[in-house]
């Protein structure tokens, strides 16, 4: 598949990005605090257990997901209905000098910022037209189910 309306998608994703950047630093801090708390054993992580998710994240191990959350980079953040949402980008090592890109989407309740739920995990190459070349920024909104 490819982008069906590059001009429109560029415009909308740029607007969204600009809105996100206004609170991005604050959101990043929030995520870093969770990370520190988790490493100190003061925060919890859970995996959303719906069937669809199981199928999706079968391709990655739980320890790879955890590694991505602890070492990856926040590339998107938003706030909706009492929850913060983060999209994490990471390149996981799969063999000597071989890496696989991964995205992990997590939610964090506003009233319990020491808890995160892993919503989905995927390899962004499966829908590569959605992303810039290194999978760190969204450029298309034509088909973003699960991403």
Interface contacts to Zn ion, rule CB under 5 A: 3, 9, 140, 142
Nearer to Zn ion, 3 or 45 (CB): 3
State in angstroms the smallest separation of the CB of 145 from Zn ion.
Answer: 13
| Whole-angstrom distance, CA of residue 58 vs CA of residue 55 | 5
Nearer to Zn ion, 9 or 75 (CB): 9
Pairing of strands 44-47, 115-122: parallel
CB 130, CB 139: distance < 8 Å: yes
| Whole-angstrom distance, CA of residue 9 vs CA of residue 3 | 8
Nearer to Zn ion, 10 or 37 (CB): 10
State in angstroms the smallest separation of the CB of 132 from Zn ion.
Answer: 13
State in angstroms the smallest separation of the CB of 89 from Zn ion.
Answer: 19
Token pair in block for residue 138: 């969204």
Q: How far is CA 121 from the centre of its chain?
A: 8
The label of the residue with tokens 């994490």 reads 88
State in angstroms the smallest separation of the CB of 108 from Zn ion.
Answer: 28
Nearer to Zn ion, 74 or 142 (CB): 142
Q: How far is CA 90 from the centre of its chain?
A: 9
């Amino acid at each position: 598949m490819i982008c069906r309306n590059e001009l429109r998608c560029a415009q909308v994703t740029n607007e969204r990005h600009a809105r996100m950047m206004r609170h991005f630093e604050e959101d990043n801090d929030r995520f870093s605090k969770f990370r520190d708390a988790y490493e100190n054993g003061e925060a919890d992580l859970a995996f959303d257990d719906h069937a669809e998710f199981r199928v999706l994240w079968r391709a990655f191990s739980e320890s790879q997901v955890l590694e991505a959350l602890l070492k990856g980079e926040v590339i998107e953040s938003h706030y909706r209905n009492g929850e913060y949402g983060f999209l994490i980008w990471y390149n996981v090592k799969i063999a000597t000098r071989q890496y696989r890109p991964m995205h992990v989407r997590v939610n964090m309740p506003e009233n319990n910022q020491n808890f995160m739920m892993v919503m989905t995990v995927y390899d962004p190459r499966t829908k590569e037209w959605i992303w810039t070349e290194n999978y760190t920024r969204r450029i298309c909104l034509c088909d973003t189910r699960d991403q």
